[in-house]
């Protein structure tokens, strides 16, 4: 079956540091890939997505590139802020659209940014 593997953390960085959170996946088909973010006491919010190989999703300074050859979708940000402290989830969907289906999530990576 499908699965998503990501570093669990916590990952602790200083403000303005460079961030990478690794995510790799296994899927039987050609999935769409996502990063979601969860702030304390909240539900998950879609951060960015990519639907085909070599696509780059970006939002709020975060980026991730769909790498089919390495089955990866690593999240990066050039300069993190304290407000980026949250839990980040990598996820995939086998069906790009049409009909209901569920997302497969990784366990989440807790990111802590220190001033």
Partner 1 sequence: ETGVTQTPRHLVMGMTNKKSLKCEQHLGHNAMYWYKQSAKKPLELMFVYSLEERVENNSVPSRFSPECPNSSHLFLHLHTLQPEDSALYLCASSQGGAGYGYTFGSGTRLTVV
Q: Which residues bind partner 1 (CB under 8 A)?
A: 4, 32, 34, 36, 41-46, 49, 51, 89, 93, 95-108
**What is the DSSP pairing of strand 109-114 with strand 11-14?**
parallel
Backbone angles phi, psi at 108, to 5 degrees: 95, 145
Whether 95 contacts 87, CB under 8 Å: no
Say if residue 77 is exposed, middle or buried (CB neighbours under 10 Å; 0-12, 13-18, 19+): buried
In angstroms, give the least distance from the CB of 53 to partner 1. Answer: 15
In angstroms, give the least distance from the CB of 98 to partner 1. Answer: 6
Of 13 and 103, the one with the shorter C-beta distance to partner 1 is 103
Of 4 and 64, the one with the shorter C-beta distance to partner 1 is 4
Of 97 and 115, the one with the shorter C-beta distance to partner 1 is 97
- Residues facing 113 on adjacent strands: 13
In angstroms, give the least distance from the CB of 47 to partner 1. Answer: 10
């Amino acid at each position: 079956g499908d699965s998503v593997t990501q570093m669990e953390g916590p990952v602790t960085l200083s403000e303005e540091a460079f961030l990478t959170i690794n995510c790799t996946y296994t899927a039987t088909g050609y999935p769409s890939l996502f990063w979601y973010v969860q702030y304390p006491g909240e539900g998950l919010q879609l951060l960015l997505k990519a639907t085909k190989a070599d696509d780059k999703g970006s939002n709020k300074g975060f980026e991730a590139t769909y790498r089919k050859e390495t089955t990866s979708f690593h999240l990066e940000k050039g300069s993190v802020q304290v407000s980026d402290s949250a839990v980040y989830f990598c996820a995939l969907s086998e069906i790009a659209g049409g009909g209901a289906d569920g997302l497969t999530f990784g366990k989440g990576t807790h990111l802590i940014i220190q001033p």
